Structure 1
Amino acid sequence: MKLLGSLTSPYVRKTRIVLAEKKIDYDFELQSPWSEDSVVPNFNPLGKVPVLILDDGTALFDSRVIVEYLDNVTPNNKLMPGPNRERTEVKRWEALADGLLDAAVAARLESQRPAAEQSPAFILRQREKIMRSLAFMARELGDQPHCMGIPMSLADIAAGTALGYLRFRFPDIEWSQAHPNLARLYDKLSQRPSFQDTALREE
């Protein structure tokens, strides 16, 4: 299988972390959806990464769809429980983390527009979403070693990816000081090879 994506996309990183944790071999092709010659729209009409192209040519897109597929490809290192309340809670963590990312990406894109065209109110609204999401994550995590308790799950991968993106693009948001338990979780996850090998960086 082949993964299309960039080195700056947190959604691509989440997918790559799952691939690493599941020990699934794949080819990684750098593709920026912003490039005029990008092939991404040929596989995803939304023009977004990541895109996972299966061996039979089927293209999967949206990181949440991809990682759920990947977790079912092999039985090892299951990252999601079976269909039950606990699975719903894992998916809720993922939805929250991805929502935080959506707000962060939207704020960053708005801030890159010409100054006269920017909407400070829009940026503020996105940053407020980020701060509320961080506070909610911290409350939900509490004193647990991982989002769902003892085992690491997709909830941790999603949360760790979101926190890593804030470190990468929003160093002014001092979430680690405001929420020490999130900082402990992030530091623990950052020691895993899957997180180290997929660290976000400029291309």
Structure 2
Amino acid sequence: MILIGMLDSPYVRRVAIYLKVLGIHFEHRPISVFSDFDALTKINPAVKVPTLITDDNQVLIDSTLIINYLEKYFGHSPAPTSAFRAEELRDLHLTGFALAACEKAVQLVYEQRLRPEGKQHQPWLNRVTQQLHGAWQTLENGLRESHPDMLSVAGISIAVAWSFTELMLPDTVTRALYPEVTGFTLLAEQRPEFLAIPLS
């Protein structure tokens, strides 16, 4: 398999870590949607990362769909029970809010880095910032109740999203605001699967 995209994308990184968790050998090609736009167009006309090229040369996009594919064909899910379903539902809840946090963080980064300051629309920035904090507060509250497995899709998504947000938006989020998220992420980032896929 070939995973395409830069590891500074939280979406690419969560797929890369999950591939490691499943023990799937893959080639990583750090192709940028910005500096390598034309090259990426030839692989994926939508110019979207992550892009996964499967062993039978199918091109998959969208981190959630890629992870669903990996889980279905390479994962080892236990037989469903009521307890398993409850845990799965909680993981879906946490994953959804982690992806929302990712999305809002990426929107803010793009707005602040790509749009000239004079053309930035402050009411929209305020709205997205509020949504970002809403997602992180929901995750903070959820982690106060219990932590998911760090190597589950939810655990990977939370840690990758927080590492990205903290790195890219240090003036917007702080560790003091979200200590549970911070503590969870610091522990997750020490796992071999995370260390093998550094944020770069």
State which drifts further: 38-47 or 121-130. 38-47
Q: How many residues align?
A: 196
Give runs of aligned pairs for residues 44-59 of structure 1, distance below 5 A: 44-59=44-59
Q: Output the CA distance in 2 between the equivalents of 1:47 and 1:124.
A: 28
Deviation at 1:152, TM superposition (A): 4.4
Picking from 114, 128, 131, the partner of 2:130 is: 128
| Greater alpha carbon shift after TM alignment, 32-41 vs 81-90 | 81-90
- Compute the displacement of 1:25 (Å): 0.1
TM-score by length of 2: 0.88
| Partner SS state of residue 3, structure 1 | strand
* Equivalent position of 2:2 in the other structure: 2
How do 1:180-195 residues align onto structure 2 when only pairs under 5 Å count?
180-195=179-194
**Is 164-173 or 7-16 further displaced after alignment?**
164-173
User: Relative to 1, partners in 2 of residues 1:108 and 1:154: Cα closer, same or farther, differing over 3 Å?
Assistant: same
> What's the offset of the Cα at 1:24?
0.6
Distance 1:180 1:37 in 2: 38
CA 1:36–1:138 in structure 2 vs 1: closer, same or farther (change >3 Å)?
A: closer
Structure 2: which amino acid aligns with 1:169? M
Partner of 1:100: 101
Percent of pairs identical after alignment?
Answer: 27
* Cα distance per residue 1:80-138 (max 9 Å; x no partner): 98583432332222221111111111111111211221112222211111111111111
Distance of aligned partners of 1:84 and 1:46 in 2 relative to their CA distance in 1, 3 Å threshold: farther
Partner residue, 2:111: 110
SS in 2 for 1:185: helix
- Offset at 1:44? 3.4
The answer to whether 1:41 aligns with 2:44 is no
Aligned-partner Cα distance in 1 for 2:110–2:42: 24
Which shifted more, 191-200 or 31-40?
31-40
Aligned counterparts of 2:128 and 2:194: Cα–Cα separation in 1: 26
CA distance in 1, matches of 2:137, 2:26: 36
Contact 2:4 2:31 in 1 (8 A): yes
TM-superposed CA distance for 1:17, in Å, is: 0.6
Q: TM-score when scaled to structure 1?
A: 0.86
C-alpha change, 1:125 and 1:86, in structure 2 (3 Å) is same
Which structure 1 segments of 5+ residues have no match? none
Provide the aligned C-alpha RMSD in A: 2.2
Look up the equivalent residue of 1:139 and give its one-letter code: N
CA distance in 2: counterparts of 1:173 and 1:108, whole angstroms: 11
Residue identity matched to 1:188 = L
Cα 1:57–1:184, aligned 2, differ >3 Å: closer, same or farther? Answer: same
Q: Gaps (5+ residues) in structure 2? A: none
C-alpha distance in structure 1 between counterparts of 2:152 and 2:174, whole Å: 22
Distance 1:185 1:36 in 2: 34
